[in-house]
Amino acid sequence: MTSNTSKHLNGLPVAQPGIGELTAAIAEGRSSSRLLLEEAQRAHERHLDLNAIAHVDWPAAQARADRLDALARAGSPLGALHGIPLTIKDLYAVDGMPLAAGSRAQMPSLGASEAVAVARLRAAGALIFAKTNMHEIALGATGENAWTGDVKNPHDPARQAGGSSSGAGVAVATGIGVAGLGSDTGGSVRIPAAFSGVVGFKPSFGAIPLAGALHLSWTCDHAGPLTRSVDDAARLFEVMSGRRTDHGAVPRRPRLAVPAKWLAPRMSHSMGAWFESVLAGLRKDADVIDVEAPELFEASAHYTAIVRAEAAYVHRDALAAGGSGFAPAVLAPLQAGLQVSVANYFDGMRQRDALRAELDAILRDYDALVLPTTGVPAPLRGQTEVQVASGVMSTRDAVLGMTAPYSYVGLPTISLPCGQVDGLPGSLQVVGARDQDAALLALARWLEGLWSSSRGGLQYS
């Protein structure tokens, strides 16, 4: 399992083996952590212009890979991720690596030498070899960054890679490591996963500890993996959360809810047509039913007030010193967060309770909520407005507005690549019931298998 066996489509690796296959190959001496790292280094060199990586020390990573390979040869693997090269978003503390969060501003102290989630990955044998670029302090969904440069879409470098875990999505898509750790406050795992055409899993709120990670909004933040497959996402989730996923089950004919009235005005024509074709394929194997979700219409504004207020508090010392080191596009929403009133903040909390109750009620009767991950395919870099069914909408609302409600209320949500829209990756967002991560992953695995085995009704253009 070396790079000469890899296949590429438009320069991107396809049909790559999963983590289970790779760890087995390492244990049996058919591959090694060093070989996988060398593949990652070659991929990094091929795709330098995409700007996925914030920090990497190849000699140090090679030494670590050699130590892991020695353990494997001795029959003493560390765990479920032994020898697997992983990248980490640059808002997690990692031993021996800098933390800048894509900013030049002074970051608050995290009080930890290494984030808990990262330490758990390392304890399971993962090769932590690089940090990935991100939207500055995670406050944005485009992957554009005035300080570190834009992360570019691997399918079309003129387009956005999504954010804020932009580098993580591009790294997985291009083979710079096998998987990546991101974070998701309003869509920051799912959006870059969608734009890069990989899997992005945002677990239930609190499932993966965030100690040692830079918060953006502590009531909305989640840690989550970006991977090549649902199986890989489940494996990383189990390691970081300590929860099992093998008890998830899929009903013989799942019941899937669609918030159609809320969705209709938010999608571009091509995204709407793609989604209808996805639903037509799903109806062969599942019951797909439109549902009312009126509280969704209020979610975006309240989410924004909460996140900006909490972000301003997280960065209060840097703001009090004048905000030096924040790019203007990030400083403005931080300063707006300082102006959020106590009444507005608590209005957001009350609306969150109402939305949570509404979605919990829907998900008592349905196995999942399904919708596109974003309302439009990846926009051009620098594009601030897009055309959707209801007219012109800000790019932020068309993209982040589709994912934010489910971070806002803390429900487990996964983004699954599924065909193409306007020649770019299409992605289905699947929302599960609270703390039913195993059941959601089982459903996502079922969908992934359905799409790979039943292309007749599930081909999109």
**pLDDT score of 461 more than 50:** no
Handedness of CA 76, 79, 84, 86 (dihedral sign): negative
What pLDDT, on a 0 to 100 scale, did the predictor assign at position 247? 82
Is residue 110 within 8 A of residue 269, CB to CB? The reply is: no
Instruction: Give how far the C-alpha of residue 248 lies from the chain's centroid of Cα atoms, to the nearest Å.
Output: 21
Q: What percent of the chain has pLDDT over 90?
A: 92
What pLDDT, on a 0 to 100 scale, did the predictor assign at position 249? 83
Q: Pick from 399, 338, 431, 324: which is nearest to 140 by CA?
A: 399
CB crowding 11-28: b at 16 or more within 10 Å, else e = ebbeebbbbeebbebbee
Q: Is there a cis peptide before residue 164, judged by omega within 30 degrees of 0?
A: yes
Instruction: Report in angstroms the alpha-carbon separations of 58 from 34, 38, 55, 268, 357.
Output: 11, 9, 10, 43, 49
What pLDDT, on a 0 to 100 scale, did the predictor assign at position 7? 40
**pLDDT score of 31 more than 60:** yes
User: How far apart are the C-alpha atoms of 460 and 109, rounded to whole Å?
Assistant: 47
**pLDDT score of 295 more than 60:** yes
Domain regions of the chain by residue span: 1-461
SS (H, E, C) the chain: CCHHHCEEECCEEECCCCHHHHHHHHHCCCCCHHHHHHHHHHHHHHCHHHCCEEEECHHHHHHHHHHHHHHHHCCCCCCCCCCCEEEEECCECCCCCCCCCCCCCCCCCCCCCCCHHHHHHHHCCCEEEEEECCCHHHCCCCCCCCCCCCCECCCCCCEECCCCCHHHHHHHHHCCCCEEEEEECCCCCHHHHHHHCCEEEECCCCCCCCCCECCCCCCCCEEEEEECCHHHHHHHHHHHHCCCCCCCCCCCCCEEEECHHHHHHHCCHHHHHHHHHHHHHHCCCCEEEECCCCCHHHHHHHHHHHHHHHHHHHCHHHHHCCCCCCCHHHHHHHHHHHCCCHHHHHHHHHHHHHHHHHHHHHHHHCCEEEEECCCCCCCECCCCEEEECCEEEEHHHHHHHHHHHHHHCCCCEEEEEEEEECCEEEEEEEECCCCCHHHHHHHHHHHHHHHHHCHHHCCCC
Using one digit for the tens of pLDDT, what is the confidence trace for 114-149?
999 999 999 999 999 999 999 999 999 999 999 999
User: How far apart are the C-alpha atoms of 33 and 127, rounded to whole Å?
Assistant: 8
What pLDDT, on a 0 to 100 scale, did the predictor assign at position 453? 60
Q: Pick from 410, 435, 448: which is nearest to 248 by CA?
A: 435
Using one digit for the tens of pLDDT, what is the confidence trace for 323-366?
999 999 999 999 999 999 999 999 999 999 999 999 999 999 99
User: How far apart are the C-alpha atoms of 188 and 183, rounded to whole Å?
Assistant: 6
User: How far apart are the C-alpha atoms of 186 and 408, rounded to whole Å?
Assistant: 7
Using one digit for the tens of pLDDT, what is the confidence trace for 267-281?
999 999 999 999 999
What pLDDT, on a 0 to 100 scale, did the predictor assign at position 458? 40
The residue with tokens 């992953």 is 441
Q: Pick from 177, 100, 81: which is nearest to 138 by CA?
A: 100
The catalytic site residues sit at: 89, 164, 188
Is residue 287 within 8 A of residue 250, CB to CB? The reply is: no
User: How far apart are the C-alpha atoms of 315 and 307, rounded to whole Å?
Assistant: 12
Confidence of residue 111 (pLDDT cuts 50, 70, 90): confident
CATH topology for the 1-461 domain: Amidase signature (AS) enzymes (3.90.1300)
How many residues are there in the chain? 461
User: How far apart are the C-alpha atoms of 245 and 134, rounded to whole Å?
Assistant: 29
Mean predicted confidence (pLDDT) in 235-257: 93
* Count of alpha carbons within 13 angstroms of residue 228, beta-carbon side: 21
User: How far apart are the C-alpha atoms of 461 and 306, rounded to whole Å?
Assistant: 38
Using one digit for the tens of pLDDT, what is the confidence trace for 376-417?
999 999 999 999 999 999 999 999 999 999 999 999 999 999
Q: Which two tokens stand for residue 320?
A: 């009090």
